[in-house]
Amino acid sequence: MPDHRPDPKKIAFVASPAPEAQEAWKRLTARYGQVPGDEAEVVVALGGDGLMLQTLHKYISSGKPIYGMNRGSVGFLMNEYAEEALVERIWNSERSVIHPLLMTTVDIHGERQDALAINEVSLLRQTSQVAKLRISVDGHPRMDELIADGVLIATPAGSTAYNLSANGPILPLNATLLALTPISPFRPRRWRGALLPDRVAMTIEVLESAKRPVSATADHHEVRDVATVSVAMDHTRSMILMHDPGHSLDERILREQFGA
């Protein structure tokens, strides 16, 4: 955010297709105006966490702060919806800075793809055959064979999403860690994952990829039939999430750890 109060004529509103989000977009743009995203000082996202992730991806290289208001079914990343005093709420909001993961995949045909993930990178079996994976950290083999439905790497911001559903640990937002969490592990049966410094580079090789095909997904971007997947946090990219005082992302993650 700039150091001055945000110009109410320089807000870009985006909304999910949900009727309540579209109606909110009409009311708020009529009240506060609307500018193109590249001219905005702040982007206001109206929807749920899915819309917030899409908005963060769209503006991932811009450095523009994102202020979300919940007009969807899930709103962990969103503020409560209210139309009054929006500019003041934005000005008084607390900021959380997050970094994405960079996923690089090579499929069984040798084709390479790159994608960014704000929440997590996940590898999942594509068929009834369980996946067999080899995990290396900074070039050193750490697990020769993980037999499981898959595995995921979560950021602190994403640790309360899929990672938590897979019984992974919740990470405080300022923790310089990544969560490596198995999905329904069969062997080693007692392995529950690992916490890794967020400066490491991980490589996951798919063993018996023809018999046991695996897909890799960075948030919403899926690549099928992968042979290797490399994952590292991209510290050169920073995204700013804005929350009302007392409801910062740090506080929300802390409350999740105590079941609040």
Tens-digit pLDDT profile for residues 175-199 = 999 999 999 999 998 899 999 999 9
Task: Determine if residue 162 is labeled as part of a ligand binding site.
Answer: yes
Task: Decide if 3 is catalytic.
Answer: no
Q: What is residue 7's predicted lDDT score, i.e. its pLDDT?
A: 63
Q: Which of the following is catalytic: 3, 38, 49, 144?
A: 49
**At CA 47, angle to CA 224 and CA 26, rounded to 5?**
130
**Of residues 7 and 55, which shows the higher confidence score?**
55
Q: By the 8 A CB rule, do 118 and 155 touch?
A: yes
Task: Determine if residue 174 is labeled as part of a ligand binding site.
Answer: no
Instruction: Count the alpha carbons within 13 Å of 165 in the hemisphere toward its beta carbon.
Output: 8
Q: What is residue 20's predicted lDDT score, i.e. its pLDDT?
A: 96
Mean per-residue pLDDT over the chain, rounded? 93
Q: Stretch 199-219: mean pLDDT, rounded? A: 97
Global model pTM greater than 0.85:
yes
Is residue 5 scored above 90 in pLDDT? no
Question: In the chain, how long is the greatest CA-to-CA distance?
Answer: 59
Q: What is residue 250's predicted lDDT score, i.e. its pLDDT?
A: 83
Task: Determine if residue 49 is labeled as part of a ligand binding site.
Answer: yes
Q: Stretch 199-206: mean pLDDT, rounded? A: 98
Q: What is residue 1's predicted lDDT score, i.e. its pLDDT?
A: 44
Q: Stretch 19-46: mean pLDDT, rounded? A: 96
What's the rounded Cα separation, in Å, for the pair 257 and 260? 8
Is residue 3 scored above 70 in pLDDT? no
Task: Determine if residue 219 is labeled as part of a ligand binding site.
Answer: no
**Of residues 222 and 76, which shows the higher confidence score?**
222
Query: Of the given ranges (70-84, 101-115, 131-145, 217-231), which has the lowest mean pLDDT?
Result: 70-84
Q: What is residue 74's predicted lDDT score, i.e. its pLDDT?
A: 74
CATH of region 11-98+237-257: 3.40.50.10330
CATH for 101-233 (3.30.360.10, 2.60.200.30, 3.40.1670.10, 3.40.50.1820): 2.60.200.30
Q: Stretch 148-157: mean pLDDT, rounded? A: 97
Strands 140-154 and 120-125, sheet pairing: antiparallel
Task: Determine if residue 81 is labeled as part of a ligand binding site.
Answer: no
Give residue 8's pLDDT band: very low, low, confident or very high (50, 70, 90): low
Is residue 6 scored above 70 in pLDDT? no
Q: What is residue 117's predicted lDDT score, i.e. its pLDDT?
A: 98
Q: What is residue 72's predicted lDDT score, i.e. its pLDDT?
A: 84
Tens-digit pLDDT profile for residues 117-126 = 999 999 999 9
Going from N- to C-terminal start, the domains of the chain cover 11-98+237-257, 101-233
Is residue 30 scored above 80 in pLDDT? yes
Task: Determine if residue 45 is labeled as part of a ligand binding site.
Answer: no
